[in-house]
Copies of this chain bind each other. A is one copy, B any other.
Amino acid sequence: MVLGAGFGGLAFVKAFPRDLARITVVDRTNHHLFQPLLYQVATAGLSAPDIAEPIRALVRKRPDVTVLMGTVTDADFERRTLTVDGRPSAFDLLVLAVGNRTSYFGNRSWAAFASGLKTIDDAIRIRRSVLHAFERAEVVDDDREREKLLTVAVVGGGPTGVEMAGALAELQRRVLARDFRRARLRSGRVVLVEASDRLLSPFPEKLSRRALEQLRSLGVQVLLGQRVEDVRDGELDLGETVIRAANIVWSAGVTTTDLVHDLPLRKDRGGRIEVAPDLSVPDHDGIYALGDAVVLRDAAGVSVPAIAPAAMQMGRHVAAECARRIRERDTTYGNGRPFVYRDKGYMATVGRSRAVARIGRLRFSGFTAWILWLTVHLAFLAGFENKLSVFVKWIFSYVFYRRGARVIHGIPDPSTRDGVPACETASRHSANQDST
């Protein structure tokens, strides 16, 4: 049984030999999400279905795979039973590939004022709220209020924060500016706040500086070494200064899902699951964990990063391990082949013709890195029937500076704040299994 149909869970299923066992994939949603492009849905470049493919369609040709859409409410490792939406479901082997969720460092109240970016609903909520704020800026009379409506703050200078800030600046200053008459969108602000002294900390320092230059050339105001003290409605409190912003996007941290939090597993301080070198979970025979939810130094001593390629490599590794175990009827655990991470590099796009990339020892920035980014992401969308549609949209937005998904729907209820209906508040376990 596989929990989570993100990059890791799906790689497991694809790599697991056909008809060797019955596989059940459980996910809270009905789709595999291409999360690296989620920021483009949030900034109206792509539509949600462009980057989401039904899990059932992805495993259509595998009659040995069953897909269950549901939320895991309980897991009993001793009885080897999972409870999905109240229904018990037995397993022999379990693969935890549940990803993680947005973390507000213990300040859960901030979630109401700063949206994370982990799910399609997050992306659509941000898109609606940002576009709606600009629409209100067009009619409002008060200058101070208009300034606030035209300001977007992004917290966290990792890849998501950088990509989000760059895309927001382009949306505001290039794409939308020509369409508004009264609100001067070019005078709007995108502020990126990072607590450490540089952006993109996993990248080489030179590329961090390049990303900073590229963001600034787009008009993004980058604040380094600034900690968030408090988040209030439309206000980001940095202690000495307070940024007034109608929209605040939170990409500053992730933590374990509630399900993992409740499970009796060894975890590090960040709540990530500690696994044996073969990715099995210590003290629990036949349970594996992989992807963003685990913390691991691989056999070569490399700390495995929480990115899609690493999750996919782990998924394939666990598939090979489980298959071997079943074939050899091996029931002793913890002694499997150790996982070795093959580092292929990192990349992040900042905007049109702007990106940074490290591939092996090579470093790229600017147009070359951007073309690399486009190529790699289109290649990885393979299996997505929407690849061609995404390609067409990218060409259009490059040539015409357009964004095809500028649709405000899910009309905000006036009784709630800035377009976030009260009923969107996440319930207890609902953040589980958001595959990464």
**Which of A's residues lie within 8 Å of B, judged by CB?**
28-31, 44, 47-50, 52, 54, 56-57, 60, 63, 66-70, 84-85, 87, 119-121, 124, 131-132, 135, 138-139, 176, 178-182, 385-386, 388-389, 392-393, 396, 400, 402, 404-411, 413-414, 416, 421-423, 427, 430
* Pick from B70, B179, B411: contact of A139, CB under 8 Å: B70
25 A-B interface contacts by CB (under 8 A): A28-B411, A29-B409, A30-B408, A31-B406, A47-B47, A47-B48, A52-B409, A54-B179, A54-B406, A56-B179, A56-B180, A57-B179, A57-B406, A66-B181, A67-B179, A69-B408, A85-B139, A87-B139, A119-B409, A120-B409, A385-B396, A386-B393, A389-B392, A389-B393, A410-B410
Are B49's CB and A121's CB within 8 A? no
Check B121–A411 contact: CB distance below 8 A: yes
| 9 further contact pairs, Cβ within 8 A, besides A29-B408, A30-B408 | A28-B411, A31-B407, A47-B49, A49-B405, A66-B182, A84-B139, A124-B409, A386-B404, A392-B392
Task: Provide the bound-state CA to CA distance between A389 and B404, in Å.
Answer: 10
Residues of B near A131 (CB, < 8 A) are 30
- Contact check, A49 vs B427: say whether CB atoms are below 8 A apart: no
| In the complex with contacts A47-B50, A54-B179, A31-B408 CB distance below 8 A | yes
Residue from B70, B181, B407, B414 within 8 A of A49 (CB atoms): B407
CB-CB under 8 A from A87, the residues of chain B are 139
Instruction: Give Cα A93–Cα B427 distance, bound, in whole angstroms.
Output: 50
Query: Judging by beta carbons under 8 Å apart, are B421 and A400 in contact?
Result: no
* Pick from B69, B421, B430: contact of A135, CB under 8 Å: B69
Q: List residues of chain B with CB within 8 A of the CB of A138.
A: 67-69
Q: Which residues of B contact A176 (CB under 8 A)?
A: 56
**Chain B proximity of A119: nearest CB distance (Å):** 8
Instruction: Give the top 8 A-B pairs by smallest Cβ distance, nearest first.
Output: A56-B179, A49-B405, A47-B47, A69-B135, A47-B49, A120-B409, A421-B423, A54-B406
- Complex Cα gap A194–B402 (Å): 43
* Distance of A430 Cα from B414 Cα, bound (Å): 11
Partner of A52 from B30, B135, B407 at Cβ < 8 Å: B407
CA distance A44 to B56 in the complex (A): 14
A52 to B128, CA, bound (A): 14
Residues of B within 8 A of A409 (CB): 29, 48, 52, 119-121, 124
For the complex, what is the distance from the CA of A385 to the CA of B399, rounded to whole Å?
Answer: 12
CB of A209 to closest CB in B, whole Å: 36
Contact, CB under 8 Å: B402 / A57 = yes
Tell me, rounded to whole Å, the shortest Cβ–Cβ distance linking A106 to chain B: 24
Task: Specify the chain B residue showing the minimal Cβ separation from A140.
Answer: B87
- Give Cα A178–Cα B65 distance, bound, in whole angstroms: 13
The smallest beta-carbon distance between A303 and chain B, in angstroms, is 33
Bound complex: CA of A423 vs CA of B416, how far in Å? 10
A48 to B405, CA, bound (A): 8
CB–CB B68/A139 < 8 A: yes
- List chain B residues, Cβ under 8 A from A66: 181-182
A406 and B30 within 8 A (CB):
yes
Q: How far is the CB of A72 from chain B (nearest CB, A)?
A: 13
**Chain B min CB distance to A83 (Å):** 12
